[in-house]
Amino acid sequence: MEGVRTAGEGIHVLSFTSAAMSRSIRAGQFLNLRVEEACEPLLRRPFSAYRIEKSSIEIVFNVVGRGTAALRRKKQGDVLDVLGPLGKPFKTIDPGFDTGVLIGGGLGVAPLPLLTSALKQEGKPVVTFLGARSAAQLVTDHLENLHTATDDGSRGFRGNVVDLVSDFLSKHPVEHPKIFACGPMPMLRAVASFARASEITCEVSLEGPMGCGIGICQGCPVELAGPEKSYALMCKDGPAFDIRTIKI
């Protein structure tokens, strides 16, 4: 691997090299990392692909437990055990929209730089909205047409990012938008509610405990929309879902 750098208050970016993996990753897919050779932590940790530069791949994370603490200690030259790319990406090739509206909450910024690049390749303009508790926790690199919201008002709009999106689009309507969102579940529920009320197509990238990453452990169920109680799996059928297909 290439190393770990600090990107914000308690936020880190880890970079490693894999020529084969870098050619096949699509925006919204994730990587499952084994953080230690020992039995603990036992399960792999899922991370969205954050950025690709030639054969270099980046993920972004904060330290919340033993696994991510182990990642923070990684050094240049260490070997990483990585499965990927996994999951289904965002649907960026779609004639049904003209403008990508990207929404990230906290570390939900993770898939947005790669998504920005994919949409630009399709000739789609992008407007980005990013929210965090404070300015120190905003990771704003590699984003375009960025608008920010912070809970404490230390940068940009004071309040949550969904209120910022609602306020912005009421004053600056965009042509045939599609929302792409990633962040904590309460934020995604608010995004989905706003998208439905505004009749805007919306995909969300769900976060969850994807231990195996390939659908074997059944640890990441998502209830599907419809009258019957049935489920998909975040890791295999997502993590990107059209909000019309799931209960959120």
Spatial separation of the C-alpha atoms in residues 176 and 201, rounded to whole Å: 9
| Side-by-side strand order, sheet with 11-17 | 3-8, 11-17, 56-62, 51-53
Q: How far is CA 1 from the centre of its chain?
A: 22
| Residue 24 counted as domain residue | yes
Q: Helix (H, G, I), strand (E, B), or coil: what is residue 42? A: coil
| Residue 92 counted as domain residue | no
Q: Looking at the structure, do residues 119 and 208 belong to the same domain, yes or no?
A: yes
Q: Looking at the structure, do residues 63 and 164 belong to the same domain, yes or no?
A: no
CATH of the domain at 59: 2.40.30.10
Q: Looking at the structure, do residues 129 and 57 belong to the same domain, yes or no?
A: no
Tens-place pLDDT, residues 121-168 = 999 999 999 999 999 999 999 999 999 999 999 999 999 999 999 999
The pLDDT of residue 93: 87
223 or 8: which carries more pLDDT confidence? 223
The pLDDT of residue 59: 94
236 pLDDT above the threshold of 80: yes
Q: Looking at the structure, do residues 81 and 103 belong to the same domain, yes or no?
A: no
Domain count, the chain: 2
The b-or-e profile of 5-39 (16+ CB within 10 A means b, else e) is: eebbeebbbbbbebeebbeebbbbbbbbbbbeeee
The pLDDT of residue 42: 60
> Among the three residues 31, 58, 86, which one is the final residue of a domain in this structure?
86
Q: Looking at the structure, do residues 103 and 57 belong to the same domain, yes or no?
A: no
Q: Looking at the structure, do residues 113 and 214 belong to the same domain, yes or no?
A: yes
| Residue 19 counted as domain residue | yes
Name the least confident of 31-40, 46-55, 74-83, 85-94: 31-40
Q: Looking at the structure, do residues 81 and 163 belong to the same domain, yes or no?
A: no
Please provide residue 227's backbone torsions phi and psi, each rounded to the nearest 5 degrees: -70, -30
Range of the domain at 66: 3-86
> Among the three residues 86, 115, 142, which one is the final residue of a domain in this structure?
86
| Residue 156 counted as domain residue | yes
> Among the three residues 86, 120, 148, which one is the final residue of a domain in this structure?
86
The pLDDT of residue 38: 62
Q: Looking at the structure, do residues 182 and 217 belong to the same domain, yes or no?
A: yes
Spatial separation of the C-alpha atoms in residues 145 and 167, rounded to whole Å: 16
- Taking the whole predicted model, whether its pTM rises above 0.85 is answered as yes
Q: Looking at the structure, do residues 113 and 236 belong to the same domain, yes or no?
A: yes
CATH of the domain at 103: 3.40.50.80
Q: Looking at the structure, do residues 53 and 170 belong to the same domain, yes or no?
A: no
Q: Looking at the structure, do residues 112 and 143 belong to the same domain, yes or no?
A: yes
